Chain A
Amino acid sequence: MADLGRFALLAALALALYAIAAGALGGRARRPEIVLSAVRALAAAASLEVVAGAVLLGALGTRNYAFQYVISHVSDTQPLLYNLTSFWGGMEGSLLLWALILSGYTLVAVRSLGRQRASLVPGVVVVCAGVSTFFLFMLTGVTSPFRTTPFPPADGRGMNPLLLNPWMAIHPPTLYLGFVGLTVPFAIVVAALARGPGDDAGILLARRWMLWAWYCLSMGLWFGAKWSYVVLGWGGYWAWDPVENAALMPWLVATAFIHSVMIQERREMLTRWNVVLVILAFGLSIFGTFLTRSGVLSSIHSFTQSPLGAYFLAFLALVLLAAFGLAAWRWDALRSRNELDAALSRESAFLINNVLFLAIAFAVFLGTVFPLVSEVLVGRAINVGPPFFDHVVVPLALALVLLMGIGPLIAWRRASAETLRRNFVAPGAAGVLTGAALLAAGMRAPGAVLAFTLCGFVAGTVALEFVRGVRVTYRATAVRHAIPAYGAALGGLVLRNRRRYGGYIVHLGMLLLVCGVAGSSVFATQRLVTLAPGDAVSVGEYRVRFDGLSQTTRNGALSIAARLRVFAGRRDLGAYDARRNLFLTSQDATTDVALRSTARDDLYIVLTGWTQDGRAALRLLVNPLMMWLWAGGLVLTLGTAITMLPERRAVPRPAPSAARIEAGGAWSPGGL
Chain B
Amino acid sequence: MLALAAGAALFVLAPLGRPVPAAAPPGERDRLLAERDVLFRSLRDLDLDHATGKLGDADYADLAARYRAQAIAVLNRLDALQPPGGPA
In angstroms, Cα B40 to Cα A3, docked, is: 56
Chain A's nearest CB lies how many Å from the CB of B62?
Answer: 9
Asked if A672 is an interface residue, CB under 8 A from chain B, the answer is yes
> B29 CB to closest chain A CB, in angstroms?
10
User: Contact: B79 with A36, CB < 8 Å?
Assistant: no
Residues A410 and B54 in contact in the complex (CB < 8 Å), given A33-B19, A650-B36, A662-B72:
yes
Total of A-B residue pairs, C-beta within 8 Å: 153
Contact with A along B48-88 (1 / 0, CB 8 A): 11011111100100011001110111011001000011001
Contact B30 A34 (CB under 8 A): no
Residue A423 is within 8 A (CB to CB) of chain B in the complex:
yes
* Nearest chain A CB to B27 CB, angstrom units: 6
Query: Which listed residue, A30, A36, A663, touches B15 by the CB 8 Å rule?
Result: A36
Among the 9-residue stretches A197-205, A227-235, A449-457, the one with 4 or more Cβ atoms under 8 Å from chain B is A197-205
Tell me whether A265 is interfacial, beta carbon within 8 Å: yes
Centre residue among A410, A647, A652 by max chain B CB count within 10 A: A652
Interface residues on B, range: 35 or more
Whether A411 pairs with B49 at a CB distance below 8 angstroms is yes
Say yes or no for A418: interface residue by CB 8 A criterion: yes
**Shortest distance in angstroms between A189's beta carbon and chain B's nearest beta carbon?**
15
Known: A44-B12, A669-B40. A30 touches B22 (CB 8 A): yes
Chain B residues with CB under 8 A of A37? 12-16
Distance, CA A423 to CA B46, complexed state (A): 16
* Residue interface bits A467-504, CB-to-B below 8 A is 1, else 0: 01100100000000000000000000000110010000
Q: CB-nearest residue of chain A relative to B42?
A: A266
Known A-B contacts A11-B5, A423-B54; the reply to A117 vs B42 at CB < 8 A is: no
Q: Are the CB atoms of A412 and B46 closer together than 8 Å?
A: yes
Q: How would residues 26 to 46 of chain B score, 1 for a CB under 8 Å from any chain A CB and 0 otherwise?
A: 111011001111101111111
Least CB distance from A204 to B in Å reads 7
Chain B residues with Cβ under 8 A from A556's Cβ? none
Interface residues of A in 413-440 (CB under 8 A from B): 413-416, 418-419, 422-423
A661 at interface, CB cutoff 8 A = yes
- Chain B positions within 8 Å of A30 at CB level: 22
In the complex, the answer to whether A411 meets B30 with C-beta atoms within 8 Å is: no
Q: Find chain B residues with CB under 8 A from A423 CB.
A: 53-54
Given A650-B36, A663-B72, are A669 and B47 also a contact pair (CB < 8 Å)? yes
Is A377 part of the contact surface with B, judged by Cβ < 8 Å? Answer: no
A422 touching B75, Cβ below 8 Å: no
**Among candidates A117, A410, A416, A669, residue contacting B43 with C-beta atoms closer than 8 Å:** A669
Main secondary structure on B side of the interface with A: helix
Docked Cα-Cα span, A598 to B44, in Å, equals: 42
Docked CA distance A97–B79 (Å): 47
Are the C-beta atoms of A40 and B27 separated by less than 8 Å?
no
Residues in B with CB closer than 8 Å to A647 are 41
Q: Is A7 an interface residue (CB 8 A)?
A: yes
Expressed in whole angstroms, the Cα–Cα distance for A199 and B79 within the complex equals: 20
Please give, as numbers and ranges, the residues of chain A lying within 8 Å of B47 by CB-CB distance: 669-670
Contact check, A655 vs B18: say whether CB atoms are below 8 A apart. no
Q: Is A36 within 8 A of B42, CB to CB?
A: no
Q: With A265-B38, A412-B42, A669-B43 given, is the CB distance from A663 to B88 under 8 Å?
A: no
Complex interface residues of chain B between 5 and 25 (CB less than 8 A to chain A): 5, 8, 11-16, 18-23
From B20, B22, B26, give the contact of A117 (CB < 8 A).
B26
A55 an interface residue at 8 Å Cβ cutoff? no
Is A468 within 8 A of B15, CB to CB?
Answer: no
A578 within 8 A of B: no
Q: In the complex, what residue of chain A is closest to B35 when comparing beta carbons?
A: A201
Q: Chain A: which residue is nearest B60 at the CB level?
A: A411
Q: In the complex where A32-B20, A416-B59, A465-B52 touch, is A40 in contact with B46 (Cβ < 8 A)?
A: no
A411 CB contact (under 8 Å) in B16, B37, B54, B67: B54
In the bound complex, CA of A662 to CA of B59 (Å) = 22
Q: Which residue of A lies closest to B21 (CB)?
A: A32
Instruction: Tell me, rounded to whole Å, the shortest Cβ–Cβ distance linking A166 to chain B.
Output: 36
For A32, what are the chain B residues with a Cβ–Cβ distance below 8 Å? 19-23
Please report the C-alpha to C-alpha distance between residue A30 and residue B19 in the assembled complex, in whole angstroms: 12
- Are A650 and B72 in touch, CB under 8 angstroms? no
Whether A36 and B20, one on each chain, are in contact in the complex, defined by CB atoms closer than 8 angstroms, is: yes
- Residues of chain B within 8 A (CB-CB) of A119 are 26-27, 30
A162 is an interface residue with CB less than 8 A from chain B: no
Chain A to chain B contacts (Cβ below 8 Å), 19 pairs: A33-B20, A36-B15, A36-B20, A37-B15, A48-B4, A117-B26, A119-B27, A265-B41, A411-B59, A413-B59, A465-B52, A500-B45, A650-B36, A652-B88, A661-B79, A663-B73, A669-B43, A672-B40, A672-B43
8 shortest interchain CB distances as A-B pairs:
A669-B43, A119-B26, A468-B52, A650-B40, A36-B15, A472-B51, A411-B55, A44-B8
